[in-house]
C-alpha cells in the first residue's frame, strides 16, 4: 500500500541565495532528510535553480512550510 503524499520533491527558485535560504529553513524545521546537488536550469534570460530533496513530511506540507516563509519566490514541485 502506497503512503499518502510523495517524499521526493523539487524546490525551484530564481536565485541561488533564495534556494539556499529555503533549504536551510526546511532543515532547521527538521523537514528534510537529504538534499541533492543544486542544478542551474534554463537559459541566460530565464535562469532558475533547482534541487531535489527527500523530506520527512509529505510534499504538500513541505510546500506549505516553504510558502509560508518565502511566498511566491520559491516553488515546490
Report pLDDT digits (tens) over 52-64. Answer: 999 999 999 999 9
Dihedral sign from CA coordinates of 50, 54, 59, 63: negative
pLDDT of residue 4: 62
Report pLDDT digits (tens) over 11-25. Answer: 999 999 999 999 999
CA distances to 3, 21, 34, 45 from 69, rounded to whole Å, are 27, 10, 20, 26
What average pLDDT does range 20-32 have in this prediction? 97
Q: pLDDT-based confidence at 32, cuts 50/70/90?
A: very high
Contact 65, 26 (CB under 8 A): yes
Amino acid at each position: 500500500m502506497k503512503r499518502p503524499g510523495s517524499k521526493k520533491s523539487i524546490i525551484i527558485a530564481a536565485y541561488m541565495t533564495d534556494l539556499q535560504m529555503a533549504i536551510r529553513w526546511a532543515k532547521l524545521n527538521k523537514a528534510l532528510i537529504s538534499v541533492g546537488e543544486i542544478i542551474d536550469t534554463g537559459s541566460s534570460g530565464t535562469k532558475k535553480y533547482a534541487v531535489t530533496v527527500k523530506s520527512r513530511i509529505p510534499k504538500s506540507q513541505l510546500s506549505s512550510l516553504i510558502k509560508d516563509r518565502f511566498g511566491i519566490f520559491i516553488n515546490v514541485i
